[in-house]
Chains A and B, each alone.
Chain A
Amino acid sequence: MKKLLTAIAAATAATVALTGCAAGSSSSPSSPASSPAGSASSAAAQNITLWLAGGDTPDALRTYLKDTYKAKTGGTLTIEEQSWGDLVTKLTAALPDANNTPDVVEVGNTQSPTFTNVGAFSDVSDLYAELGGDKLLQSFVEVGKVDGKNYTLPYYFGSRYMFYRKDIYKAAGVEVPKTLDEFNAAVKTIAAKNPKSIKDFSGFFIGGQDWRNGISWIFANGGDLAKSENGSWTSTLSDPNSIKGLTQLQEIQKDASRAPKTAKDQSPWLYINDSDVVKDDAKDPNKVTGKTSLAAATIMAPGWAHWSIGDLVKKDGKEVREWNTDKFGVFALPGNDGKPAPVFAGGSNIGISAASKNQEGSRELLKIIFSPEYQQMLGKNGLGPANSDYTSSLGDDEFAKALIESASNSKLTPAAPGWAGVEASGKLEEFFAKIADGGDVAALAAEYDAILTPMLNQK
């Protein structure tokens, strides 16, 4: 009901704006477009709050947002960082609360449908074209849409690609794979040959519960997690293409990965770094005082993982990882059709809280975020810009190439209202762990389809 009202209010407001009628008082005071675009400076300087999730947005970008917002509107922008783990809890409590809601919030792209479907965000359809329109990453735009209206828009994307050890691939006599089948075979060969004779060595390290990487195999074989028909969602793990992908994944789990069956997608880069020795004995600089062990030839991780991969070097007295192109390489997971495999697209969306009293200021902030300057700043910091015109700002190093390539065909989880509930229930982890454990794929898929379908539709 409330959603309907919001929609009507927004529609009225849009009409008002279109006809150039500036009498904002004719529509409800909180309606998003009550004053015509462009006259923002006349709107009283609004002090607004932006919630960013996690530490992904670098400090320089935060400063830029604050300064630009101040310059454009005279208001103060406060940025508060929420940790990913607690984001949903805090959004659930604060977003409906008009007196304390943050004005603009970043949400994980997969969390977006859950909140947009209950009317947590303001309709920004009228701004859509101005903010980039069809140039914006469409898969992210989709998860921010309800009934054809835009509520959240893409903030940045990051895609998952492969990091591998050149030296080990070489020692095992394996080339960088060009198709998915080649990849599946290559990592098994490496695990079998185990050129460095390391105990529990993985050709490809993928945790049993790691569904975020695991679903790439479903996607790459033409399968999907769920489909929507006449507004109702059905889980499609039993789809023949999904089964095919899951079977391949199971073989990888059996023959190529020695990751624990309960491992998720946290810090996989630990396993690809070299068997460093720690030498910090004060008296004898050559004495080995500790060892870290290499455990995998390939991992799949979001692009920023490369900061944590490399040789251990001392810089300014601190030990940091330094990428070494002789030893490490990256490639996008290939598909069987010559294109990159569709992998799970990481990243987030951004939207204006429907309960916010500062709609004007919030819309100004969105304009700053989707401005060419800011989009390019995102790219320069390795975050995929929402607007495809600025993808080139990512640069042309190997990471940028792998990111752009893997993102070109990336996919999102279903935009179902109950998706966040599915994620939170832990059922996907459970399902993938059972697959990894060698269970009967078809039977498990049918079992979990029956569990997931009602959850997908739960509002």
Chain B
Amino acid sequence: MPATSSAPAAARATAGPRRFRPAPYLLLIPSVAVLLFALGYPLYWQILTSLQKFGLAQQFGKPPTFVGLDNYRQLFSDPQTWAVVGRSIAFCLTNAIITVILGVLIALLMNAVGKVIRLVLQISMLLAWAMPVIAVMTVWIWVFDWRRGLVNWLLTNLGLDFTNHNWLEQPLSFYFVATVIVVWMSVPFVAFSIYAGLTQISEEIMEAAALDGAGSVQRFFAIIVPMIRPVLMIVGLLQVIWDLRVFAQIRMLQDAGAPTASTDLLGTYIYRLGVGSSDFAMASALSIFVLLLTLVLSFFYVVHLMKEDS
């Protein structure tokens, strides 16, 4: 079983005379180099800028002044920041949970149906996954359009009066639309990954469990979940990371006519502070904060990972 393989392999590789082996470091050089090259300076710039007063004038050459942690102080004393942080965490967790649950269900479905139907399901997932985000947003915004949208038309024809109902007007219904779109876009990746995990569960185990009289729900929680736990954890973590910074979808929905201030999430708020208000210092400070926030949210995963690794 692959889940146990890395440690012995590594042990074997290091067997032999104890001396410095350059091989692993050489192998890491390209990745480390490209990461340092592309992100090193920007990250340094971001940290530095977050400690300065840096607006449009500084961008156009005026020397910035060092202000220490003032930007952070100002950021954290602004109730708007906490409102955005709160909304983002709620949005991120809701979306990540729904995405993972739907992804697991669809993966189970893929596993449970015949070959042809599975292929149909997989292709439809692939189609959704392959759509460029701008195309996705154009279609969905249109589906929810207050005047000519398909959703209103359907609900109205079902006897509910949704004529001219504006889905983007209230923050809650705005987030509902955003959730539908984000989940729709993210589920295929999760479903495929989990399905991959499911197919690695050995049939002996499942048979043994069935002989012991375990029902399908029991089998799911007692056997399947522990077996696919590594995949579940990584896709869950990635969803949290991605959904916390969701940007393009929210921005385009806002452009389509939503109250911006009450629908901002961290991604759009950083963008608004930076490009919009030309306050690059605050935008940088907030970016650094988001980085730390993500670390906190993924803390348990990281701890687990370190344990597993050592």
A36 within 8 A of B: no
A95 and B276 contact, CB distance less than 8 A: no
B218 within 8 A of A: no
Q: How far is the CB of A129 from chain B (nearest CB, A)?
A: 28
Q: How far is the CB of B279 from chain A (nearest CB, A)?
A: 7
Residues of A contacting B55 in the complex (Cβ-Cβ under 8 angstroms): 458-459
Instruction: Tell me the bound Cα distance from A89 to B59 in angstroms.
Output: 12
A264 and B257 contact, CB distance less than 8 A: yes
A262 within 8 A of B: yes
B122 within 8 A of A: no
Size bracket, chain A contacts = 35 or more
A24 within 8 A of B: no
Contact with B along A187-205 (1 / 0, CB 8 A): 0000000000001100000
Chain B, range 198-229, C-beta contacts under 8 Å to A = none
Segment from B86-94, B106-114, B160-168 that makes contact with A: B160-168
Residues of A contacting B195 in the complex (Cβ-Cβ under 8 angstroms): none
B257 and A92 contact, CB distance less than 8 A: no
Q: How far is the CB of B282 from chain A (nearest CB, A)?
A: 11
The interface size of chain B toward A, counting residues with CB under 8 Å, comes to 28
B60 within 8 A of A: yes
Residues of A contacting B277 in the complex (Cβ-Cβ under 8 angstroms): 418, 421, 424-425, 455, 458
Instruction: Tell me the bound Cα distance from A130 to B73 in angstroms.
Output: 51
A430 and B262 contact, CB distance less than 8 A: yes
Instruction: Tell me the bound Cα distance from A6 to B61 in angstroms.
Output: 12
A120 within 8 A of B: yes
Contact with B along A78-91 (1 / 0, CB 8 A): 00000001001100
Residues of B contacting A459 in the complex (Cβ-Cβ under 8 angstroms): 55-57
Identify the closest chain B residue to A200 (Cβ).
B164
A92 and B278 contact, CB distance less than 8 A: yes
Residues of A contacting B168 in the complex (Cβ-Cβ under 8 angstroms): 262
Instruction: Tell me the bound Cα distance from A309 to B275 in angstroms.
Output: 35
Chain A, range 404-436, C-beta contacts under 8 Å to B = 418, 420-421, 424-427, 429-430, 433
Chain B, range 227-282, C-beta contacts under 8 Å to A = 255, 257-262, 272, 275-279
B60 and A120 contact, CB distance less than 8 A: yes
Identify the closest chain A residue to B161 (Cβ).
A199
A426 and B272 contact, CB distance less than 8 A: yes
A260 and B56 contact, CB distance less than 8 A: no
Instruction: Tell me the bound Cα distance from A120 to B262 in angstroms.
Output: 33
Chain A, range 86-105, C-beta contacts under 8 Å to B = 88-89, 92, 95-96
A368 within 8 A of B: no
Instruction: Tell me the bound Cα distance from A430 to B93 in angstroms.
Output: 27
B60 and A425 contact, CB distance less than 8 A: no
B166 and A96 contact, CB distance less than 8 A: no
Chain B, range 46-72, C-beta contacts under 8 Å to A = 55-57, 59-63
A149 within 8 A of B: no
B169 and A118 contact, CB distance less than 8 A: no
Residues of B contacting A207 in the complex (Cβ-Cβ under 8 angstroms): 257
Identify the closest chain B residue to A434 (Cβ).
B259
Instruction: Tell me the bound Cα distance from A92 to B60 in angstroms.
Output: 8
Residue of A117, A258, A425, A426 with highest tally of chain B CB at under 10 A: A426
Main secondary structure of the interface of A (DSSP, over half): loop
Residues of A contacting B260 in the complex (Cβ-Cβ under 8 angstroms): 426, 429-430
Q: How far is the CB of A211 from chain B (nearest CB, A)?
A: 12
Q: A209-B259, A263-B257 are in contact. Are A458 and B279 (CB under 8 A)?
A: yes
Question: Which of A260, A262, A420 is in CB contact (< 8 Å) with B278?
Answer: A420
B62 and A114 contact, CB distance less than 8 A: no
Residues of A contacting B166 in the complex (Cβ-Cβ under 8 angstroms): 260-263
B261 and A427 contact, CB distance less than 8 A: yes
Question: Which of A89, A118, A209, A426 is in CB contact (< 8 Å) with B257?
Answer: A209
Instruction: Tell me the bound Cα distance from A5 to B57 in angstroms.
Output: 14
Identify the closest chain B residue to A95 (Cβ).
B60
Residues of B contacting A315 in the complex (Cβ-Cβ under 8 angstroms): none
A260 and B275 contact, CB distance less than 8 A: no
B276 and A421 contact, CB distance less than 8 A: yes
Chain B, range 28-62, C-beta contacts under 8 Å to A = 55-57, 59-62
Question: Which of B62, B146, B255, B261 is in CB contact (< 8 Å) with A430?
Answer: B261
Q: A421-B277, A425-B276 are in contact. Are A85 and B61 (CB under 8 A)?
A: no
Identify the closest chain A residue to B262 (Cβ).
A430
A1 within 8 A of B: yes
B257 and A260 contact, CB distance less than 8 A: yes
A314 within 8 A of B: no
B279 and A421 contact, CB distance less than 8 A: yes
Instruction: Tell me the bound Cα distance from A266 to B60 in angstroms.
Output: 32
Residues of A contacting B63 in the complex (Cβ-Cβ under 8 angstroms): 1
Question: Which of B62, B147, B163, B258 is in CB contact (< 8 Å) with A118?
Answer: B62
B60 and A96 contact, CB distance less than 8 A: yes
- The 5 A-B pairs with the shortest beta carbon distances in the complex, nearest first, are A424-B276, A426-B260, A421-B277, A260-B166, A118-B60
Q: A2-B61, A459-B57 are in contact. List 7 more A-B contacts (CB 8 A).
A: A88-B276, A119-B57, A119-B60, A264-B257, A270-B147, A426-B261, A455-B277
User: Contact residues of A with B, CB < 8 Å?
Assistant: 1-2, 85, 88-89, 92, 95-96, 114-115, 117-120, 199-200, 207, 209, 258, 260-264, 266, 270, 295, 418, 420-421, 424-427, 429-430, 433, 455, 458-459
User: Contact residues of B with A, CB < 8 Å?
Assistant: 55-57, 59-63, 146-147, 163-164, 166, 168-169, 255, 257-262, 272, 275-279
List, sorted by A's number, 22 A–B pairs whose CB atoms are closer than 8 Å.
A1-B63, A89-B275, A92-B59, A96-B59, A96-B60, A115-B56, A118-B62, A199-B164, A209-B257, A258-B164, A260-B257, A262-B166, A270-B147, A295-B147, A420-B278, A424-B275, A424-B277, A425-B272, A425-B277, A430-B259, A458-B279, A459-B57
